């Protein structure tokens, strides 16, 4: 299995390498790909050193699978070139997510949609992945009418520049700013760019991607996305209105029996999900499960996950695992 990582020198690329090693993905040949300025750089993987190559060289090497995390513009330009060479691309950017001809996949929910003809597969946004992981089994049982979500997102979701900004602010150093304001001791209700409707792109991703993954455009979603000064892990307060009523013990049972979900829900002893404990883990953690007493058939959840792992690298590699296990590459 010849595997390329496009964007190997970035934050998600580094985590992809780590997850590939941890999960013993069957890599027989590894191709590390990055921008022109990184060509020739050396990166270690499983006690072996690899030199970074450029995109053109990587296409000519015809990998079986290419894991992309190099941004939307690079993906729009290069994913089709890899696909034409016979490579199956799993893309971590927003470039292909809403393309009606491309699958948007969270393996635990809809990997069964994948076929051999899918040469470009979209990986959802990090905040969407963790939310739909918890919502999919509940939607199946009670049918979701409406979701109100507020996110509390780590600076690592922005990238290296944002991590550096927080480090500089903690050290009292003036440096390059990833955000229009300081992030230390602050909360910015501003993730990604603002769109014409005054919602940010991140907020609208939660709307459109949720409907696509759950295959139900009737689900109403409204979102507020907030950046907070944590270095890893996204948190979400999610209010769900169902068409049918539910029983809280049954909700807990459904979630605890869902692959990839870990229940942390015991307020009596202060057990609830937090990003500090989700860091470095692949599960989606769910807690603070309680009925919304202000209106019928409504539930509140608190959902936390490591945005660089299940929110990006791990989900991508799980898609690759499904493809290889089912002879789809």
**For 255, phi and psi rounded to 5 degrees?**
-70, -40
Question: Residue 7: what pLDDT?
Answer: 97
Structure tokens at 159: 């990238």
Question: Residue 269: what pLDDT?
Answer: 98
Q: Phi/psi class of residue 40: alpha, beta or left (left: φ > 0; alpha: ψ in -120 to 50)?
A: left
- Per-residue DSSP letter, 100: T
Measured distance CA(46)–CA(19) in Å, rounded: 11
Question: Residue 92: what pLDDT?
Answer: 97
Measured distance CA(99)–CA(104) in Å, rounded: 9
Question: Residue 211: what pLDDT?
Answer: 98
Measured distance CA(86)–CA(80) in Å, rounded: 10
**What residue ranges define each of the domains in the chain, with the CATH number in brackets?**
2-124+312-325 (3.40.50.720), 127-307 (3.30.360.10)
Name the strand (E) or helix (H) holding 5. strand 2-6
Question: Residue 78: what pLDDT?
Answer: 98
Question: Residue 267: what pLDDT?
Answer: 96
Per the residue annotation, which of 126, 139, 191, 279 is the catalytic one? 126
pTM here?
0.96
- Per-residue DSSP letter, 124: P
- Secondary structure E strands in 18-107: 29-33, 42-45, 48-51, 65-68, 88-91
Measured distance CA(228)–CA(295) in Å, rounded: 30
For tokens 């470095």, the residue is 280
User: Residue 3 forms beta bridges with which residues?
Assistant: 30, 65
Per the residue annotation, which of 139, 190, 191, 234 is the catalytic one? 234
Torsion, CA 148, CA 152, CA 156, CA 161, rounded to 10 = 100
Question: Residue 210: what pLDDT?
Answer: 98
**For 194, phi and psi rounded to 5 degrees?**
-80, 140
Structure tokens at 136: 């999919």
Q: Is 10 exposed, middle or buried (0-12, 13-18, 19+ CB in 10 A)?
A: buried
- DSSP strand pairing (144-153 vs 220-227): parallel
Question: Residue 256: what pLDDT?
Answer: 98
Question: Residue 180: what pLDDT?
Answer: 97
Question: Residue 83: what pLDDT?
Answer: 98
Q: Is 191 a catalytic residue?
A: no
Low-confidence ranges of the chain (pLDDT < 50): none
Measured distance CA(1)–CA(167) in Å, rounded: 39
Question: Residue 283: what pLDDT?
Answer: 98
Measured distance CA(223)–CA(205) in Å, rounded: 9
């Amino acid at each position: 299995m010849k595997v390329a990582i496009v964007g190997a020198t970035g934050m998600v690329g580094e985590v992809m390498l780590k997850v590939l090693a941890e999960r013993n993905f069957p890599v027989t040949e590894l191709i590390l790909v990055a921008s022109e300025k990184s060509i020739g750089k050396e990166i270690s993987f499983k006690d072996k050193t690899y030199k970074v190559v450029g995109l053109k060289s990587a296409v000519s090497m015809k990998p079986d699978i290419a894991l992309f995390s190099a941004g939307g513009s690079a993906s729009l330009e290069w994913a089709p070139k890899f696909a034409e060479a016979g490579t199956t691309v799993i893309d971590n950017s927003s470039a292909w997510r809403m393309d009606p001809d491309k699958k948007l996949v969270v393996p635990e929910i809809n990997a069964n949609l994948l076929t051999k003809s899918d040469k470009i597969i979209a990986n959802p946004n990090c905040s969407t992945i963790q939310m739909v992981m918890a919502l999919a089994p509940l939607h199946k049982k009670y049918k979701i009418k409406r979701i109100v979500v507020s996110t509390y997102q780590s600076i690592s979701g922005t990238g290296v520049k944002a991590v550096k900004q927080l480090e500089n602010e903690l050290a009292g150093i003036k440096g390059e700013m990833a955000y229009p304001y300081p992030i230390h001791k602050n909360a910015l209700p501003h993730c990604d760019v603002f769109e014409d409707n005054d919602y940010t792109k991140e907020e609208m991703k939660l709307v459109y991607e949720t409907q696509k993954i759950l295959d139900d455009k009737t689900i109403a979603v409204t979102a507020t996305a907030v950046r907070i000064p944590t270095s890893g892990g996204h948190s979400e307060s999610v209010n769900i209105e169902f068409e049918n009523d539910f029983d809280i013990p049954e909700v807990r049972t459904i979630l605890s029996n869902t692959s990839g979900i870990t229940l942390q829900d015991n307020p009596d002893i202060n057990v609830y999900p937090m990003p500090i404990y989700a860091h470095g883990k692949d599960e989606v953690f769910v807690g603070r499960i309680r009925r919304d007493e202000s209106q019928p058939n409504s539930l509140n959840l608190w959902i936390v996950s490591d945005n660089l792992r299940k929110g990006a690298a791990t989900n991508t590699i799980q898609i690759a695992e499904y493809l290889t296990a089912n002879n789809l590459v």
